[in-house]
Structure 1
Amino acid sequence: MAFVPAPGYQPTYNPTLPYNQPIPGGLSAGMSVYIQGVAKENMKRFQVNFMVGQDSGADIAFHFNPRFDGWDKVVFNTKQAGQWGNEEKKRSMPFSKGTHFELVFMVLDEHYKVVVNGTPFYEYRHRLPLQMVTHLQVDGDLELQSINFLGGQVCAVPTLPQSIHPRPVTIPAYPGSGFGPGYGPPPMSSLPIMQGPPTFNPPVPYTGRLQGGLTARKTIIIKGYVPPHSKSFAINLKVSSSGDLALHINPRLGENAVVRNSFLNGSWGSEERKLSYNPFGAGQFFDLSIRCGLDRFKVYANGQHLFDFSHRFTSFQRVDMVEVQGDVTLSYVQI
């Protein structure tokens, strides 16, 4: 079953190194580049280059270069006409050998903002016009899990999280969930769609409203991290007026299970548990895509089909809220 990315969301999974590919649509303010991977146990250095062209001698608008060399640091620079400019460096190492990481480059009007594992790390002012950048290059002592180009001409500029306070509805604790009460290129006509602007690093619990309700081909993107201590978390597609849950996704780390269910008319339905693989491991990043079809939800994780969930709530258009609760850290949500 093929993974068809929604417009404005261009992921590449498990790319080989060296990675040197065009940036879809070119670089522009409002874009973000997400890189997920693992720092090798014997890591000495790696680099991410925002290139002006693809050739080995091309200019580099932004060179990001962590170095484990006894004086652990990250070096930043620009290469123009074959010459490196003045080096900037930060003697702080946000990466740990042998561990997963999430590296985000937010492209702003005046600078690149670098965020590592959800924490702002550095701002590098543009020395070359960002519109000149055409390719991204990654190489070094790391394993790449995914590269995502987000935003630009299709998605809106990143926005700060907004608090949404719907009318509270009490839902009984879902059995075994660990939560208390209240938690619980094809034709364009077939392309998945996204509407709202992305939210970066929203706090958990997270609540987001689906403007206009859920529609066929609607895609919800949730990127996050499962902390090492995580026991359970839940993602709910909810009807705010009644508290019904059209889809409840509940990874349970202790059971190595991803439970799916619905909560309709005050009662939980039958669980679905069968999966060919479980992408929600402790200390792991995940990239979840939830797509609404006419008769089912289709859910993908890290670019692979994870499960289908047939609609039990036939009026899925009444679903107007996305909730995320529990032991999870969110880095990106687009609904």
Structure 2
Amino acid sequence: MEDSQLFSKPKTPFTGPLQGGLQEGKSIIVIGTVLPNANRVHVNLECGDDIALHFNPRYDGGPAYVVLNTLQKGNWGTEEHKYESPILQGKPLILQILVTKQTYKISVNGKHFMDYKHRIPITGVKSMFVNDMVNLDFIAYQKPEVVPYKTLFKNGLQPGKDIVIYGLPNPDCKRIEMNFRHKYGIAFHYLSYFDANVVVRNTFENGAWGKEERSGGVPFKKDELFKVTISCDKDQFTVFVNDQQAHTYKHRFAKLEDIDVFEIYGDLQLIFVKPL
């Protein structure tokens, strides 16, 4: 995606700049796993020595809860609490902070968690911090993903390359479709029909669809977060859903370097796509 910033497998504690500063309409996405022995997680949006947003899940012996606050001129403001938390020790964390004119809209694992009104103008926020209580996979700063989604591969597809997709099927989801395209057709068409509970794989070439590969058992659940990894190997595509192998598809279109588009359609909220 244009106008986006990605840190892959960053070490913690992590401090990184936000290119162009914090901007209305963009999201910060933190993806990782909370350590099993975590006592407090810190995710901060920083303006020099001040902290515009301090997002602080705590595990102090009782049920997990979250504290939010702002640090200005060395002084903490009034804490805001949420005495429930989907952010659990030893479990995956997908934190999304959407910047709006009045608030930070905070979502956890695809579900809205709470809003936090700005106490410091967003124009002053230049960097972010994550402490060492999270094992990080990615941090992204970008405009929210939208469906239909399309991204281009500069040098085509190559063996050993993966694409990772995080999303949430809508409660009334009918279908989710993912395609690897080239100039003349679709090399790999991966389509989940929820009502029929079937997954279709196929190739569109020379103006016609090939023979379908069909199997039962859609690997997604409505209104539940998913992680899809599609690996391209020399001989086949392999699809993993929530880190479990779901399907394989042997290449029918052999010129991998000509496959230069990936797209997603369907009834889902798209949270994050890690490109090739």
TM superposition score category, shorter chain reference: 0.5 to 0.7
> Are the aligned partners of 2:65 and 2:84 in contact in 1 as well (CA < 8 Å)?
yes
Q: 1:312-327 alignment to 2 at 5 Å?
A: 322-324=263-265
Shift of 1:44: 1.8
1:149 to 132, 137, 141: 141
> Are the aligned partners of 1:34 and 1:148 in contact in 2 as well (CA < 8 Å)?
yes
- Deviation per CA, 1:170-202, whole angstroms, max 9, x where unpaired? xxxxxxxxxxxxxxxxxxxxxxxxxxxx42xx6
Shift of 1:269: 8.0
- The change in CA–CA distance for 1:281 and 1:7 in structure 2 (over 3 A counts) is same
Q: 1:32-47 alignment to 2 at 5 Å?
A: 32-47=27-42
Shift of 1:246: 1.9
Q: Which runs of 5+ in 1 are unaligned?
A: 1-5, 152-157, 159-197, 203-207, 228-232, 253-258, 285-296, 298-306
SS at match of 2:68: strand
Q: TM-score, normalised by structure 1?
A: 0.56
SS at match of 2:7: strand
- The change in CA–CA distance for 1:137 and 1:323 in structure 2 (over 3 A counts) is closer
Match of 2:165 in 1: 223
Mapped pair 1:282 → 2:242: yes
Distance 1:222 1:104 in 2: 17
Mapped pair 1:65 → 2:56: yes
Mapped pair 1:267 → 2:194: no
Shift of 1:332: 4.2
Distance 2:270 2:110 in 1: 8
SS at match of 1:46: coil
Distance 1:274 1:97 in 2: 38
Shift of 1:218: 11
Mapped pair 1:82 → 2:74: yes
Distance 1:329 1:280 in 2: 19
Distance 1:226 1:123 in 2: 20
- The change in CA–CA distance for 1:275 and 1:109 in structure 2 (over 3 A counts) is farther
Shift of 1:234: 4.9
Q: TM-score, normalised by structure 2?
A: 0.67
Q: Of Structure 1 and Structure 2, which has the larger fraction of its residues in strand?
A: 2
Using the aligned pairs only, state the percent identity: 31
- The change in CA–CA distance for 1:270 and 1:135 in structure 2 (over 3 A counts) is same
SS at match of 2:20: coil
| Number of residue-to-residue matches in the alignment | 227
Distance 1:45 1:14 in 2: 21
Q: Which runs of 5+ in 2 are unaligned?
A: 157-162, 170-175, 193-199, 214-231, 245-252
C-alpha RMSD of the superposition: 4.3
- The one-letter code sitting in structure 2 at the alignment partner of 1:330 is L
- The change in CA–CA distance for 1:323 and 1:48 in structure 2 (over 3 A counts) is closer
Distance 2:177 2:70 in 1: 43
Distance 2:243 2:28 in 1: 21
Distance 1:71 1:59 in 2: 29
